[in-house]
């Protein structure tokens, strides 16, 4: 995969060892950072881009139900397609609440392929209850 033009900021934002803003080392890392940022941003959180976000953090405060599961999958799929559809292909999205893999918790697993790459990548967001 070719490196995209321009310099990108790493997510989360940080200062590198050279005293300059840190940047992702390659496109795959940059796409991973973009997905994390999208999924963890709540819609409405950005004042000038109110539709941006996947809203996964909001799941922690919702009553778990099959309807919420379906809405969450739809919201995340739509967000990935709208904001990062040109950067990746979503291969699989798995959202689970309180099952054998995550008792008393939430699991969001995203399997994707960066544009121009043959390799699949997997990101997991997991939160367990106390």
| Residue 85 covered by a domain | yes
pLDDT in tens, 68-118: 888 889 989 999 999 999 989 999 999 888 777 667 778 889 999 998 888
What kind and span of H or E run contains 72? helix 66-84
What's the domain count of the chain?
Answer: 1
pLDDT in tens, 109-118: 999 999 888 8
| Residue 10 covered by a domain | no
Place of tokens 């893999």: 101
| Residue 63 covered by a domain | yes
Q: Which domain holds residue 97?
A: 27-128
| Residue 21 covered by a domain | no
Cα(11)–Cα(126) distance, integer angstroms: 19
| Residue 82 covered by a domain | yes
Supply the pLDDT for residue 55: 82
For the chain, the straight-line distance linking the first and the last C-alpha, in angstroms and rounded, comes to: 41
Place of tokens 């005293």: 19
Q: What are phi and psi of 127, to 5 degrees?
A: -140, 125
Look at the pTM and tell me if it is higher than 0.85.
no
User: Angle at the Cα of 42 (from 62 to 97), degrees rounded to 5?
Assistant: 35
109 versus 29: which is more confidently predicted? 109
Q: Quick one: which of 29, 34, 28 has its CA closest to 79?
A: 34
pLDDT in tens, 35-79: 998 998 988 898 998 999 888 877 766 777 788 888 889 989 999
Q: What CATH number should be reported for the domain holding residue 69?
A: 3.10.450.40
| Residue 12 covered by a domain | no
């Amino acid at each position: 995969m070719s490196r995209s033009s321009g310099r990108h900021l790493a997510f989360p934002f940080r200062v590198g060892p050279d005293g300059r803003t840190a940047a992702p080392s390659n496109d795959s890392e940059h796409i991973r950072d973009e997905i994390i940022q999208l999924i963890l941003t709540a819609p409405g959180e950005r004042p000038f881009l109110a539709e941006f976000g996947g809203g996964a953090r909001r799941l922690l405060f919702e009553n778990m139900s099959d309807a919420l599961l379906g809405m969450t999958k739809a919201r995340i799929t739509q967000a990935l397609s709208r904001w990062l559809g040109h950067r990746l292909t979503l291969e699989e999205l798995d959202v689970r609440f309180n099952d054998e893999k995550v008792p008393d918790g939430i699991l969001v697993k995203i399997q994707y392929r960066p544009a121009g790459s043959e390799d699949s990548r997997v990101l997991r967001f997991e939160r367990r209850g106390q």
